[in-house]
A = this chain, B = another copy of it.
């Protein structure tokens, strides 16, 4: 294992200390229980938005705390969901009285820990609503699975809900928009290498020099299938077609498209992937009106990428375009 760390058990705490030091104009760190909050939260009258999950997906979620996105984020240990006390404390810290939205990626651990926290919060009289993100088409949503994983859509849900809250929508409306974004979004991911959980010390899976994993999540878990590595053109076509077929996206649709790196794939490749993806979309009459290319929801140093499409309309585009100022996403005033 080659990492720029001190001791595996301190990675999360030490990285958060660095993050908050680098963005001291924007962020504060609560130590016990652990969460990162926007300095200006709670904003009077504004719905609070929090999210959380295992660490190792940076900039998600801690990098999305700030104006126009999250009011707080609860980082768990690497790939381990946070605990209810963190979530409860963060919820309390950002509630202005207008209630708090929990954005939860659909993993058994996250769901249960947020559920426990929500029970605690509601007992204290804080209004809590939930958006469950489950956009990964690699997983069948059936009785025989824990449902689809939450992946790339999380970034879009957090950005768009953040803008809606900023515009003064009330909790139920912000939650409804978040659910709508999730319903209109589909993603798929692939990996060329495994990642290494610091405390585990070795790669989560072994993979040959000529192999790739298709349909992976963001935790170094094996994907839906293993196959021979292909050209970017072929890989991206397979990925895009799975995503398009699922919603389905149709000719004439306008989409927000996220080409996301898993952490170890350089930008030169991600832009190449974006170029290939847009070709497939063009063929199908799908119009990419807002592109986002980079490392936005990662799996440590895994090499690979994911593709996320959101079927947009004018309202969602306006919310997307609204100013955002966080460590990981920034535009507008």
Residue numbers of A with Cβ under 8 A of B are 2-7, 11-12, 14-19, 21-23, 55-56, 58-59, 63, 78, 192-193, 209, 212, 229, 231-233, 235-236, 259, 263-276, 278, 291, 293, 295, 298, 300-301, 303-305, 330-331, 333
Contacts and interface: CB of A to CB of B under 8 A. Distances in A.
A271 B331 contact: no
A305 B4 contact: yes
Contacts of A303: 2, 264, 301
A232 B17 CA distance: 14
A231 B264 contact: no
Given A6-B272, A14-B232, A264-B303, 19 more contacts: A2-B192, A2-B303, A4-B232, A4-B269, A5-B232, A5-B269, A6-B233, A14-B275, A15-B275, A18-B276, A19-B275, A19-B293, A22-B291, A56-B268, A59-B267, A265-B301, A266-B295, A266-B300, A330-B330
Nearest to A57: B268
A268 B60 CA distance: 10
B192 A275 contact: no
B330 A209 contact: no
Contacts of A265: 4, 301
Give the most central of A11, A235, A272: most B CB within 10 Å: A272
Give the most central of A56, A265, A271, A300: most B CB within 10 Å: A271
26 contacts: A2-B209, A3-B192, A4-B272, A5-B269, A6-B272, A7-B231, A11-B268, A14-B275, A15-B268, A15-B272, A15-B275, A18-B273, A18-B275, A18-B276, A21-B275, A22-B271, A22-B291, A56-B268, A58-B267, A58-B271, A263-B267, A264-B301, A264-B303, A266-B298, A267-B298, A330-B331
Contacts of A7: 231
A305 B12 CA distance: 18
A108 B216 CA distance: 43
